[in-house]
Structure 1
Amino acid sequence: MDREKYYALMQAPEALDYELYLKTGSLLACQKPFDELCNRDELQFQVVHQVEELWMKLMAYTLLDVDDYLKAGETHRVVTLLGRCHRIMRLMTDQLDLLETMSPKEYQEIRLQLGNGSGQESPGFRILLKLVPELWRSFEQRYLVAEGRTVRSIYDEDYRHDAAYAVAEALIEFDELFGKFRWHHLFLIHRSIGMGAASLKGRSVDLLQAGAKHRFFPELWDVRVAMTDDWGGQYGRVRDSIGHSEAP
């Protein structure tokens, strides 16, 4: 196979309308030229991380609309758009699996190209960390304060499986998926460089575990604990086995 011929085709200038609209020339020039790659896996490493940034850009753009619809109480719009973000989060998590096809040795070679770079410097990730908490404030004002309700009433005391409940569940699903993404990324690091190693910032990557335990909407998680504890207080935390029965 003529490798050089196909390399040229992959880097051909924009000509057709599809290429011009998507700016494929610029997009495909965002990676290193083939002859400058440090090894055969570096292109994959760049592409996966660049695609992650594009997904996070779309997610942040979508969440701005979600915030507007939260404030307006447009529940169907909120749930639909958060559903889109849920799909994006799953795509982001799944595509990390590609990076597990690298050997630790090849990753070490790629790591030399990163300078002092770290995933914590991702612009999309940093924006999401700032943007997502705003959603809770909007939910709280529109679905709790304005309606004279609490999280506990939505889930328990005044449970109706209504609009407020649907939005709360969409928010906690986003929180769960974001956490799964962070844990998946943590396992990728564990597999590639080991958890006891120092990051390119000189800090132990073990510190990333604290971030993976972070929750955007702790109130939605805590209500489950409160309900379960109250249930245990009413029905008993330790009870007879359902297989136990008194003799007739």
Structure 2
Amino acid sequence: MKTKRDYYDMIEQPQMLDYGVYLNCDRLLTCQKPLDDLCNADELQFQIVHQVEELWMKLICYTLVDVIEYLNAANTHRVVTLMGRVHRLMRLMTDQLDVLETMSPKEYQQIRLQLGNGSGQESPGFKLLLRMPYDLWDAFKASYLDGKGLTVKDVYDSRYDHGDSYVAAEALVEFDELFQKFRANHVYLIQRSIGLGSKSLKGRPVDMLQAGARHRFFPELWDVRAEMTDAWGASYGVVRDPIHDKNRADR
């Protein structure tokens, strides 16, 4: 009968054939702590989930570099296709956070001791993703607004035609929305793991995460919706006659 050590050896030293060689599995599978050195049974999943997050963010950033190039060229088909990939990746990142909710608060506290003074706020992929939307906006604005003599209001309201400018703008909006959802899910994860009233490993209130979850990359694309609704309300009335009274009168 195989022992636990036997299984650990098979996990840590798998047979390497062409597929494993191509994927550098010998290196990939040693990017985590040795199984015998884990502080508890959940530390492996903690490391793997966060390492995979970094890989997804690397792919997102790599894809957004091409998106910026295609925005500058006003190649809308490629912009939409590649942003669709980014949207799927953002959903994957958000969904996999749920795996970490299988840890108990006690087990998470043990893992936190292994981080030294580090925290998720130092994530290299996340920090880069926070910077790239500024370049996305500049490229979009140059090609799809200024380059076409349009404003955001034109695209969404006064000259709305569901054309290239609108489609590209909505691709950016969806990315922004999905990023906000990712950050919001992270807040719920922190709340479940350590509580929102606690301090982070940097000594800062975890409540700061909530402020981050409300951050918008493309405020102009969000604000135009509120402006349109306010203008609509001014024209049609914020409060209108209830339709059930009209229906009763008609009968």
- Structure 1: tracts of 5 or more residues without a match: none
Q: What is the TM-score when the length of structure 1 is the normalising length?
A: 0.98
Question: Match for residue 56 of structure 2?
Answer: 55
Question: Match for residue 240 of structure 2?
Answer: 239
Question: Match for residue 119 of structure 1?
Answer: 120
Equivalent residue runs for 1:196-211 within 5 Å: 196-211=197-212
After TM superposition, give the deviation of residue 13 of structure 1 in Å.
5.8
Runs of 4 or more off by more than 2 Å in structure 1? none
Residues 67, 83 of structure 2: 8 Å contact kept: yes
After TM superposition, give the deviation of residue 247 of structure 1 in Å.
3.6
Question: Match for residue 180 of structure 2?
Answer: 179
- SS where residue 244 of structure 2 aligns? coil
Deviations 1:49-92 (A, max 9, x none): 00000000000000000000000010000000000000000000
After TM superposition, give the deviation of residue 8 of structure 1 in Å.
1.1
Residues 137, 218 of structure 2: 8 Å contact kept: yes
Q: Distance between the aligned counterparts of 1:106 and 1:214, measured in 2?
A: 31
Question: Match for residue 10 of structure 2?
Answer: 9
Question: Match for residue 44 of structure 1?
Answer: 45
State the one-letter code of the partner of 1:127: L
Equivalent residue runs for 1:21-32 within 5 Å: 21-32=22-33
Equivalent residue runs for 1:1-248 within 5 Å: 1-12=2-13, 15-245=16-246, 247=249
- SS where residue 232 of structure 2 aligns? helix
State the one-letter code of the partner of 1:169: E
Deviations 1:139-166 (A, max 9, x none): 0000000100011101110110111111
After TM superposition, give the deviation of residue 207 of structure 1 in Å.
1.4
Q: CA RMSD in A?
A: 1.1
After TM superposition, give the deviation of residue 203 of structure 1 in Å.
1.0
Residues 14, 24 of structure 1: 8 Å contact kept: no
Residues 70, 139 of structure 1: 8 Å contact kept: yes
- Structure 2: tracts of 5 or more residues without a match: none
Residues 67, 134 of structure 1: 8 Å contact kept: yes
Q: Distance between the aligned counterparts of 2:82 and 2:213, measured in 1?
A: 24
- SS where residue 198 of structure 2 aligns? coil
Residues 67, 138 of structure 1: 8 Å contact kept: yes
Q: Distance between the aligned counterparts of 2:15 and 2:77, measured in 1?
A: 40
After TM superposition, give the deviation of residue 15 of structure 1 in Å.
2.8
State the one-letter code of the partner of 1:211: G
State the one-letter code of the partner of 1:242: I
How many residues matched?
248
Residues 16, 26 of structure 2: 8 Å contact kept: no
- SS where residue 243 of structure 1 aligns? helix
Q: Distance between the aligned counterparts of 2:16 and 2:212, measured in 1?
A: 45
Residues 14, 25 of structure 1: 8 Å contact kept: no
Q: Distance between the aligned counterparts of 2:14 and 2:6, measured in 1?
A: 14
- SS where residue 148 of structure 2 aligns? coil
Deviations 1:79-110 (A, max 9, x none): 00000000000000000000000000000000
